[in-house]
Structure 1
Amino acid sequence: MKKLLLSCMLALAGLLLCTYVHAQNGAKGQQITGVLVDSLSQKNPDFITVALMKDKNVSVKVDYSKADGSFRFVGLKPAKYYLVISGVGYKGKTLSADLSDSTKTILNLGKIFITEEALGLKEVKVSATKQIVKQEVDRISYDTQADPESKVFSVLDMMRKVPYLSLDAEDNIQLKGNSDFRILINGKPSSMVERSYKDILRSMPASSIQRIEVITTPPSKYDAEGLSGIINIITNKNVTNGYNGSLNVSERFPVGGPGIGGSLSAKIGKWGLSAFGGANLYKNPQTATILTRNTFGESSTLLDQRGFNKSENKSGYLGLEISYELDSLNLISGQFNINGNRNDAISSQSSDLTKGSEILQRYYLNNVGDGTGSGFDAALNYQLGFKADKNRLLTLSYRYYGFDSGQDNVINISERINYDLPNYRQLNDQLFSEHTIQVDYVHPIKKLMIEAGMKGILRNNKSNFEYRTYNSDTDNYQILEELSNKFSNTQNIYGIYNTYQYNFKKWGVKAGVRVEQTVLDANFATTNSKVSQNYFNVIPTISINRKFKKSGLNFGYTQRIRRPNIYQLNPFVDRSNPNFERTGNPNLRPSVLNDINIGYNWSGKSSFSLSVGHTFIKDMFFPVIVYDPATGITRSSFGNVGKAKLLPMVMVNFNHPITKKWNMSINPRMAYAMTEGIINGKLIKNKGLMYGANLSSGYRLEKNWRVNVNINYNGPNINIQEKTNHFFGYSASVNKDVVKDKLSFSASFNNPFNKFRRNIRDSFGPDFLQYNEQRNYFRTFNFSLNYKFGKLKESIKKNKRGIRNDDVQGGEN
């Protein structure tokens, strides 16, 4: 099968090369040329948009004026055309261009004079509410710039308001009730969110991004990973010649801390620059925890653990994109992202194991943990356009990505009764590197858009973990070789795809297929053992859209896969709590998902969307919890143990402007989850209704004041052996433009009448019941200042295609 895939990739490469040569040497057909001239200064303005139209409604081609004011359309058929000229600072102009005479090869329109737009002296007051949610064939987008609360909330906080998205009690994102998704930045992977997205998104001000896209039916050009879809975060890049940017300074307490973030975009001549970055200090003050476990069988026991923990996390990130336009057909761009974090945590707990009134075991544990991590990625893209059609593109891309993370825990045990485990220290260092090469080709044929490409991803995961016990005689820690190991894992993925999109009248169809082969090898250096896997996947996708006068109907089907990441494969055993161990499973295989979705959307004064779907996952790898009565230890790992269904899955979004100053939106969701699998030799089933809703309302007052209120309700979350509790949250915010469109002040309070929130997780197995309660601070206050600056003239040109490594689940588990 590997040889077959390699042959297909070579054939596709040959096809792309032949197409390129043919396009570059093909006939030019008829041409229309001209030169734009400023009627006042007599200079030739550049980067003025010139659209070639048919019947004043149908766009044929689009060009822009060069440095000498010239423009040209080639490869035209005999017909009557219209030119529509528009540019920032100039009045629009329309003129006819008759090419119906087939004997005329070139129509030279000569000098075309355009006049500057006169600046109005009177203030224009716009009172209409900008649409926040927009639905397309295969995705929805949430315009954060249209939401005033973007000035006070982080990107992570804003996720609660986006349709299809929700946050659980630990601020983990869920897409359609599922934590298996991919996060992209501007359509590309980024080390900032691939390693641990929460650290970055909670430090990224929402004011520094343009919108959040949720791709519910990813087309075949995207990698097959991400069971529930893709989250694409678009930063502020719609910039014109000149520069613009934003700066946000915030403070959050008692949870959180100071943060700073911002973005900058600039264009100077043929150079374009986009950058965004920030830093954040996030504190979790001391809170209480409760963990109990009841075991059954020959010897029923009760384990009761109660303690406290607190942590502090420092994080920072920087993203940079540079582009250079060689000419109108050749574009080079590069990306660079870097991030890092440090986490310090302290926890303590008492532990009592009893049988009836008899104390079987008792101890007190103190755990001091130190975690560090850093990520880096860089990419280079070359985009080639074609003279015959500017929408035809060939893109070559290369990307390197790497990260490292370290974990160091020192565990001291005291007040022992029948417990002889010595004090110990555990260390785990992880390294990850990835090389990606990708080729993409886009070929439009009238109303048909054809896309094809191929890709190779070469990954290398490494882990080195050690356990050291304390020796009181030497006053140091000695390595336990039998519990330590060096683990390496290589994962090579080869893929090709082909996508077709056709639009006719009020119908739109997008369909494609992606073929991927994965070759995986794992090696345990210390124990001299190996694991090898090789799997082949064919992933079909189809989206159909029917537009009506004010509404639309969508249908989507896709198959997705979920590959395990380094956290789920790593055999390191976390013994921070000696009665409850956590580890990965290097034998994990990918899960396969089938998703069918039907959606309806309507927009007028209000907007409404409804989505109903069914999801089925086979060979699902779940978090698996097994109790060992011989050791008294519960171990959590991962295993391909069963299947899951979400039926039905219902999502609703409703936006309504009550008045010109008052608007509201509501996003309810519901799904019935059914899971089952074989765990520890026995069939386990779990099912239940998962639901939630977010209500948001805002009112614009006089003198640039605005108030917003949010109400959020999250129902229980279901897994094969776990169920979480529901919670209800609310917040209010106020913001004011101190200097109109420049400087604004924002403040919010969240859950002012509830200091703590009880996060409860109930787990079960054939021979145990487990209760875990974590108290988190719920009452928080936010303050922020947001400043915008810049001077603009024309937009940055960027690669329309680039590397998207969206085939591995994002975030840390």
Structure 2
Amino acid sequence: MKTKTLIAAIFFSGLIYAQETPKKDTATTKNIEAVTLTKQVFKKQSDRFVYDVAASPVAKGNTAFNLLKQTPLVSSTDDKTLKIIGKNNAVIFINGRKTNMDAESLTQFLKNTPAENIQKIEVITLPGSEYQVESSDGIINIVLKKKMTDGLNGNMRMGNSQSYYNSSYAGVSLNYRKDKLGISSNINTSQNIQEQYYILRNGNDKSSNQSEGRVSDPNKNLGGYLNIDYQLNDNSNLALTYNSWANRSYGSTSNLFNTVKSINDKGEQATSYNYTKNVENSRSYNNSLNLNYEWKTDTLGSKLNLNAAYLNYKRFQNADNITYNSSLNQNLGYKMVQITQSTPQVINNFSFLGDYIKKFKNDFTVSVGGNYNKTKTDNDTKSTTSIFDKNENLAELFDNDGNRIDNPKNNPNHFIYDENIYGFYLTMEKKFSEKFSGKIGSRYEITNSVGKSDNADFSNIERNYNNLLPYVSLNYAINDKNNISYAFSSRMRRPSFWELNPVKNILTDVNYTQNNPFVKASSVYTNEFTYMFKNSYFFIVNHSLSKDVITQVPLQREVVKNGVTTKELRYIRTNFGDRQEMSAMLGMQKSFFKQYLTSNFNIGVQRNVNNGFLNTDPLTGDVFPDYVNKIKSNSLLIQTNNTVRLDKNKTWFLGVNYWYVDNQQIEIGYLKSLMSLDFNVKKVWNDWTFALEIYDILKTNKVVITDQQDNGNFNYINQNQYNQSVNFSITYNFGNKKVQKIRDISSADKDIKNRTR
């Protein structure tokens, strides 16, 4: 299902015409290999870790996405998203500029980009003030190789994956350069059915609900991008970037068998059964356009960058949710409740970004810039609830005073949200000596927003707040083998636009999720200390404090319907207290046995300290029994990626990857341990690469969350996403391998894109 329901609450709380190939110069190749053996593959520089891909055998015949998964400090638990260990999210930059793509098309882009095009990967765990990132996000900067020959090259990739259902994907990428003109394009398509199995329980020893069943979500995707870059003169460039992504999900279904234990008007406990069937159709479109101008003002590297962007996002969604009376054997009876919903969303954004970097001869750099974002979201939600008697006739309903209530009940909600963000930053960076360097900076942000609705409970909501966000980073190279660094960062985490839209997503007639226009931005403060030894071993200590954490909170209470007391559960999107995360991570990136084995290993511990309390629905004012999470937990984290070269000619590779996340307390309960063991075999044959990948071999990547409150209420979530899969792919690289990649341009609307997800 496409609605942001339990998945957001469960897992993301706390825890990708051909020309002849030029002949190789044998002597030159031998010289390069000789240098590679002594070159530093992984090292710490100023505010970032640098992974020199060109000096590593892992890149051979790989894709950019798979290479990133094997980069130190980077992980992926679903083969769709990338995370920096200890961070909420990894924001992808290319050549120092954020990619102008949404999440799904970015993944396809990375999975269709040959790793041989990459020179190095930079992992920035705490970005400076010049970067526009949210919360505790880190940055992965991909630096592409510089090649000067004109011409055309590209690659084609197709693959098939077998999980619960079969899925397929294909893509074509082209790069062209002629004199001052560079063009890069990609088109990709995929088709899959996402299958999940849920077991949901909530209640207490008197009354409770259990819902169990399948959720099937078929998807068809088509996307791509076009980048046009023109060199106006030796010092300036003009570029235009267009990105498009479309998704269609028709016939998504959820079928949940519900067991209801309740207390009748005689005080007797009874058990009843019903069955909820939900059918949903949705489609979405994401189109954006960005114009960039870059002017190099001197020979030291000073430059001016200007960006103007427009983003249009549309999503149309209709759902029909029907609950039937049922027997224990799931024999369906009469229709009890029918809820129909239409939840469209349209987002329009105009953005401007400008920054100037001034470099001085004494290794001193000053960066100054600003940004402006204007966003308008239009959410015209319509919902109708109909209640039926045993003969499937519309039932008569009365309130507590005996007044008749219309049945069916219409719940329209037209919510319009306007937001303006102004940002300014200043950073200063100085290299004091060959050993010592530092950076200091600050970002000042002004946010003005207005939410208007035809719902009387939240008809007009205004938000006006200013934030000063300081940053500092220090780096000291003790000697050739030892390096230490410290950084402090402060950031904001604004709610996504879908989180602000006050719409209900129905699971059953007594179980739903509720978004919240009153959610305010949260603040995150992070300290990080790093020690690195011999450019192969590292130790990182991190402390992060989040204020007004944004999450989904499960509120439940007893309600009386037709003389029967049952449990009602609402997952409310809201601010939920504070959270501290403390971690210590020990890692290694090293090659053994003359580079026949390349190993990346991380092991660490994390301590979570939660401090959250909620007992009132912020939209309706309904009072619930207290939901409290003031629990601390300690957990173990392990990740290892290993690549074994099986032959002398570097054409056969074996990959063995494993990750483990220990039990830990998150905002909505106790998350049980997760882990996954993956294998892959790869064959490189001239310009062809064949890969066979097996994920979650042991079927251990399943989400289970338990919560027990002091007042007797419990909540249980068991979610199986069928992560075990077998994937086979074929990639063909063609054309002139000396083509220069064009500049990848940052979009002025980059932060807004992240908030549409």
TM-score, length basis structure 1: 0.76
Deviations 1:610-644 (A, max 9, x none): 21111111222232221121263211122223111
Shift of 1:370: 2.0
* Cα distance in 2 between the residues matched to 1:199 and 1:578: 36
1:531 aligns with: 461
* Counterpart among 696, 709, 713 of residue 768 in structure 1: 713
Amino acid at match of 1:666: F
With over 3 angstroms needed to count, the CA separation of the structure-2 counterparts of 1:149 and 1:350, relative to structure 1, is farther
Give the partner amino acid of 2:185. A
2:605 and 2:243 map into 1 onto residues whose CA distance is: 37
Q: Distance in 1 between matches of 2:25 and 2:140?
A: 40
Tell me which residue corresponds to 1:490.
418
SS of 2:344's partner is: strand
In structure 1, the residue matched to 2:232 is: 326
Structure 1 residue 302, shift from structure 2 partner: 2.5
Q: Which residue number corresponds to residue 284 of structure 1?
A: 194
Residue 151 of structure 1 deviates from its aligned partner by 5.4
Residue 309 of structure 1 corresponds to 215
1:587 to 508, 518, 525: 518
- Choose from 601, 607, 622 the match for 2:551: 622
* Residue pair 1:694, 1:713 contacting (<8 A) in 2 also: yes
Match of 1:77 in 2: none
Tell me: CA distance 1:401–1:778, structure 2 relative to 1, closer, same or farther (3 Å).
closer
Pair 1:376-2:265 in alignment: no
Question: What per-residue deviation string (whole Å, max 9, x for no partner) do you get for residues 465-513 of structure 1?
Answer: 1113469789xxx996742201111111111111111113222212111
Residue 545 of structure 1: aligned partner:
475
1:191-210 equivalence runs, <5 A: 192-193=101-102, 197=103, 201=107, 204-205=110-111, 207-208=113-114, 210=118
CA gap of 1:181–1:700, structure 2 versus 1, over 3 A, is closer
Residue 519 of structure 1 deviates from its aligned partner by 0.4
Tell me what 1:779 maps to.
724
Q: Determine which structure has greater relative contact order: mean sequence separation of CA pairs < 8 Å that are 6+ residues apart, divided by chain length.
A: 2
2:274 corresponding residue in structure 1: 363
For the residue of structure 2 that corresponds to 1:505, the secondary structure is coil
- Counterpart for residue 338 of structure 1: 244
Q: Name the stretch that deviates more: 784-793 or 345-354.
A: 784-793
Query: Which of 506, 521, 538 is matched with 1:609 structurally?
Result: 538
Deviations along 1:224-272, whole A, 9 cap, x unmatched? Answer: 5232323456678866432332222111113452111343222101101
Partner of 1:668: helix, strand, or coil? strand
Structure 2 residue 676 is the aligned partner of structure 1 residue 736? no
1:107 match: none
Q: How far off is 1:595 after superposition?
A: 0.6
Classify 1:764/1:281 alpha carbon distance in 2 versus 1 (closer, same or farther; 3 Å). Answer: farther
Which of 591, 601, 608 is 1:656 aligned to?
591
Structure-2 residue corresponding to 1:759: 703
In the alignment, is residue 465 of structure 1 matched against residue 381 of structure 2?
Answer: yes
Shift of 1:153: 7.1
Whichever residue aligns with residue 294 of structure 1, its letter is G
Seen in structure 2, the aligned counterparts of structure 1 residues 290 and 358 have a Cα distance that, compared at 3 Å, is same
Q: Which residue does the alignment assign to 2:397? A: none
What letter corresponds to residue 253 of structure 2 in structure 1?
I
Name the CA distance, whole Å, in 2 between partners of 1:421 and 1:235.
60
- Match of residue 368, structure 2, among 444, 449, 452: 452
Mapped partners of 1:663, 1:238: distance in 2: 27
Q: Is 2:669 the counterpart of 1:714?
A: no
Q: Which of the numbers 328, 337, 340 marks the counterpart of 1:422?
A: 337
Report the alpha carbon displacement of residue 405 of structure 1 after superposing the two structures with TM: 1.5
TM-score, normalisation: structure 2? 0.81
Q: Of 502, 507, 517, which residue of structure 2 is paired with 1:571?
A: 502
Instruction: State the shift of 1:453 in Å.
Output: 0.9
Alignment of 1:398 onto 2:308? yes
Q: Give the superposition deviation at 1:215.
A: 2.3
Structure 2 CA distance, aligned partners of 1:784 and 1:619?
44
Pick closer, same or farther for the CA change 1:651–1:406 going to 2, 3 Å: farther
Distance 1:628 1:376 in 2: 43
Decide whether the 8 Å contact of 2:61 with 2:684 is kept in 1.
no
Match in the other structure for 2:735: 790
Cα distance in 2 for partners of 1:730, 1:745 equals 21
Q: Distance in 2 between matches of 1:414 and 1:641?
A: 35
Distance 1:673 1:762 in 2: 16
- What SS is found at the alignment partner of 1:225? coil
SS in 2 for 1:810: helix
Q: Which runs of 5+ in 1 are unaligned?
A: 1-88, 90-116
Aligned residues: 680
Structure 2 CA distance for aligned equivalents of residues 122 and 808 of structure 1: 46
Q: What is the SS of the residue equivalent to 1:680?
A: strand
Q: Which residue of 2 aligns with 1:675?
A: 610
Change (3 A) 1:231 1:737: closer
Deviations 1:572-611 (A, max 9, x none): 111133322112111111111111111122336xx11221
Q: Does 1:554 align with 2:476?
A: no
SS of the residue 1:274 aligns to: strand
In structure 2, the CA distance between the partners of 1:714 and 1:397, relative to structure 1 (3 Å rule), is same
Contact 2:522–2:548 (Cα < 8 Å) also in 1: yes
Contact kept, 8 Å, 1:466 with 1:480, in 2: the verdict is no
Three-state SS of the structure 1 residue aligned to 2:499 is helix
Q: Which whole-Å CA distance do the structure 1 matches of 2:189 and 2:522 have between them?
A: 36
Q: Which of 601, 626, 630 is equivalent to 1:685?
A: 630
Taking a change above 3 Å as real, the CA distance of residues 391 and 169 of structure 1, as seen in their structure-2 partners, is: closer
How far apart are the structure 1 equivalents of 2:701 and 2:302?
A: 54
Cα deviation for residue 355 of structure 1 reads 4.3
Q: Distance in 2 between matches of 1:359 and 1:159?
A: 54
- The structure number with the bigger radius of gyration is 1
One-letter code of the match for 1:761? I
Q: Distance in 1 between matches of 2:174 and 2:472?
A: 37
8 Å CA contact 2:359–2:366 kept in 1: the answer is yes
For residues 384-413 of structure 1, what are the alpha-carbon distances to aligned partners after superposition, in whole Å with 9 as ceiling and x for unaligned? 223x53522122221111211122222222
- 2:450 aligned with 1:521: yes
Tell me what 2:671 maps to. Answer: 724
How many Å separate the matches in 1 of 2:540 and 2:699? 36
Q: Higher mean Cα deviation, 764-773 or 638-647?
A: 764-773
The residue identity in structure 2 corresponding to 1:642 is G
Q: Which amino acid aligns with 1:630?
A: V
> Structure 1 residues 281, 136: CA separation in 2 closer, same or farther (over 3 Å shift)?
farther
Distance 1:278 1:440, change over 3 A: same
Gaps of 5+ in 2: 1-21, 328-332, 395-405, 561-566, 617-625
CA–CA distance in structure 2, aligned partners of residues 230 and 309 of structure 1:
33
Counterpart amino acid of 2:155? S
Once the two structures are superposed, residues 705-746 of structure 1 have per-residue CA deviations (whole angstroms, 9 ceiling, x without a partner) of 22121122222343222222212321221111222xx11211
Cα deviation digits, residues 120-154 of structure 1 (max 9, x gap): 57974948578765543223355678565885778
CA contact (8 A) 1:692 1:714 kept: yes
C-alpha distance after superposition, 1:296-346 (max 9, x if no partner): 6xxx21222221232222223212221111111221111111111122422
